[in-house]
Structure 1
Amino acid sequence: MYNSQEIVSISNRNIPSLITLPAELVYSILDNLDMLTILISFCNVCKRLKNITNTYHRYKTFTILNLTHHRINEQEFECLVNTLQNNKTLIEIHLRCNKIDNQKTKSLTDVLKTNTILTTLVLSNNTISTDGAQYLANLLNNNKTLKELDLGWNQITSEGIRYIADALNNNHTLTILNLQINNLGNQGTQYLTNALENNRTLMTLILSNNCIDYEGAQYLANMLCKNKTLTTLILSDNRIGSQGVKYLANALYNNKTLTKLHLRLNRINSDGAKYLADALHNNNTLTELHLGWNDIGNQGVQYLSNALYNNHTLHILHLQYNKIDCIGAQYIADALQKNTTLRELYLACNKIKNQGAQYLLNILKNNQTLTTINIQSNKIDFHEIQYLIDILEKQRIQF
Structure 2
Amino acid sequence: MGQKTSTIQNKVKAIQDNKARVTDVSFDQVDITEKVARKIADGLRENNNVQRLSLKNCNLSTLSVRHLSDALCNIAITSNIQRLDLANNSTIGVEAGKYLANVLLNNKVLEHLILNNCGLEDDGTVSVATSLCKNCTLITLEIGTNGITDLGAKLLGEMLKTNTRLEGLSLWQNELSAEGAQFLAQGLQINKTLLWLGLGSNQIEAQGVWALTESLRSGSPLLWLGLGGNSIGDRGVLHLASLLQEDCSSLQSLGLGGNEIQDEGIKILATSLKTNTRLRSLGLGGNQIADEGGQAIGDMLTANHTLKKLLLSSNLLGDSAVVYISDGLRYNSGLELLLLADNPFGDDGGLSLTQVLCKENVSLKVLDIHGTRMSHHTEQKVVHQLQQLSKLTKLGSAYGAKESSQQRSTSVSHHTESTSLSQRSTSFISQRDEGEARKMAREKQREKFLSQALAQKTSTAQLF
The verdict on a shared fold, with TM-score over 0.5 as the criterion, is yes
* 1:81 CA drift (Å): 1.8
- Per-residue CA deviation, residues 189-215 of structure 1 (Å, 9 max, x unaligned), is 001001101211000000111111111
* 1:236 CA drift (Å): 0.2
C-alpha separation in 1, matches of 2:146 and 2:221: 26
Counterpart AA for 1:397: L
Partner SS state of residue 233, structure 1? strand
From the superposition, tell whether residues 186 and 356 of structure 1 become closer, same or farther in structure 2 (CA, over 3 Å): same
C-alpha separation in 1, matches of 2:249 and 2:367: 28
* 1:396 CA drift (Å): 3.5
Pair 1:67-2:67 in alignment: no
Of 88, 101, 122, which aligns to 2:93?
A: 101
Q: Which residue of 2 aligns with 1:371?
A: 365
C-alpha separation in 2, matches of 1:50 and 1:210: 37
Counterpart AA for 1:373: L
From the superposition, tell whether residues 124 and 309 of structure 1 become closer, same or farther in structure 2 (CA, over 3 Å): same
* 1:91 CA drift (Å): 0.3
Report the TM-score when normalising by structure 2. 0.74
Partner SS state of residue 367, structure 2? strand
Kindly indicate whether the alpha-carbon contact (under 8 Å) linking 2:354 and 2:385 is maintained by their aligned counterparts in 1: no
Q: Which residue of 2 aligns with 1:189?
A: 181
Pair 1:381-2:381 in alignment: no
Q: Which residue of 2 aligns with 1:119?
A: 111
In structure 2, runs of 5+ residues without a counterpart are 1-15, 398-464
C-alpha separation in 2, matches of 1:132 and 1:50: 24
From the superposition, tell whether residues 328 and 113 of structure 1 become closer, same or farther in structure 2 (CA, over 3 Å): same
Partner SS state of residue 78, structure 1? helix
Kindly indicate whether the alpha-carbon contact (under 8 Å) linking 1:39 and 1:80 is maintained by their aligned counterparts in 2: no
Pair 1:256-2:265 in alignment: no
* 1:131 CA drift (Å): 1.5
Of 82, 90, 101, which aligns to 1:91?
A: 82
Q: Which residue of 2 aligns with 1:161?
A: 153
C-alpha separation in 2, matches of 1:364 and 1:243: 34
C-alpha separation in 2, matches of 1:279 and 1:361: 28
C-alpha separation in 2, matches of 1:158 and 1:222: 19
Q: Which residue of 1 aligns with 2:262?
A: 269
373-382 or 332-341: which moved more?
A: 373-382
Report the TM-score when normalising by structure 1. 0.86
C-alpha separation in 1, matches of 2:182 and 2:18: 56
From the superposition, tell whether residues 284 and 28 of structure 1 become closer, same or farther in structure 2 (CA, over 3 Å): closer
* Structure number with larger C-alpha Rg: 1
Kindly indicate whether the alpha-carbon contact (under 8 Å) linking 2:69 and 2:102 is maintained by their aligned counterparts in 1: no
C-alpha separation in 1, matches of 2:339 and 2:328: 15
C-alpha separation in 2, matches of 1:68 and 1:35: 8
Q: Which residue of 1 aligns with 2:448?
A: none
From the superposition, tell whether residues 267 and 337 of structure 1 become closer, same or farther in structure 2 (CA, over 3 Å): same
C-alpha separation in 2, matches of 1:50 and 1:384: 60
C-alpha separation in 2, matches of 1:287 and 1:31: 40
Kindly indicate whether the alpha-carbon contact (under 8 Å) linking 1:175 and 1:203 is maintained by their aligned counterparts in 2: yes
From the superposition, tell whether residues 323 and 35 of structure 1 become closer, same or farther in structure 2 (CA, over 3 Å): closer
* Identical positions, percent: 30
Kindly indicate whether the alpha-carbon contact (under 8 Å) linking 1:256 and 1:284 is maintained by their aligned counterparts in 2: no
Kindly indicate whether the alpha-carbon contact (under 8 Å) linking 1:220 and 1:248 is maintained by their aligned counterparts in 2: no
C-alpha separation in 1, matches of 2:36 and 2:73: 12
C-alpha separation in 2, matches of 1:390 and 1:159: 55
* 1:66 CA drift (Å): 0.6
Of 317, 323, 331, which aligns to 2:316?
A: 323
* 1:78 CA drift (Å): 2.8
From the superposition, tell whether residues 177 and 43 of structure 1 become closer, same or farther in structure 2 (CA, over 3 Å): closer
- Per-residue CA deviation, residues 40-84 of structure 1 (Å, 9 max, x unaligned), is 444766xxx877x33xxxxx3311111110111344323212211
Q: Which residue of 2 aligns with 1:397?
A: 395
In structure 1, runs of 5+ residues without a counterpart are 1-25, 55-59
Of 280, 287, 295, which aligns to 2:288?
A: 295
Counterpart AA for 2:209: A
From the superposition, tell whether residues 117 and 364 of structure 1 become closer, same or farther in structure 2 (CA, over 3 Å): same
Counterpart AA for 1:334: D
C-alpha separation in 2, matches of 1:387 and 1:319: 23
From the superposition, tell whether residues 208 and 29 of structure 1 become closer, same or farther in structure 2 (CA, over 3 Å): closer
Q: Output aligned runs, 1:1-399, within 5 Å.
A: 27=17, 40-42=37-39, 53-54=46-47, 60-86=48-74, 87-98=78-89, 99-254=91-246, 255-365=248-358, 366-393=360-387, 395-399=393-397
Partner SS state of residue 383, structure 1? helix
Partner SS state of residue 292, structure 1? coil
From the superposition, tell whether residues 30 and 381 of structure 1 become closer, same or farther in structure 2 (CA, over 3 Å): same
C-alpha separation in 2, matches of 1:226 and 1:318: 28
From the superposition, tell whether residues 79 and 30 of structure 1 become closer, same or farther in structure 2 (CA, over 3 Å): farther
Q: Would you say how many aligned residue pairs link Structure 1 and Structure 2? A: 364
From the superposition, tell whether residues 381 and 84 of structure 1 become closer, same or farther in structure 2 (CA, over 3 Å): same
Kindly indicate whether the alpha-carbon contact (under 8 Å) linking 1:354 and 1:382 is maintained by their aligned counterparts in 2: no
Counterpart AA for 2:131: L
RMSD of Structure 2 on Structure 1 (CA): 2.4
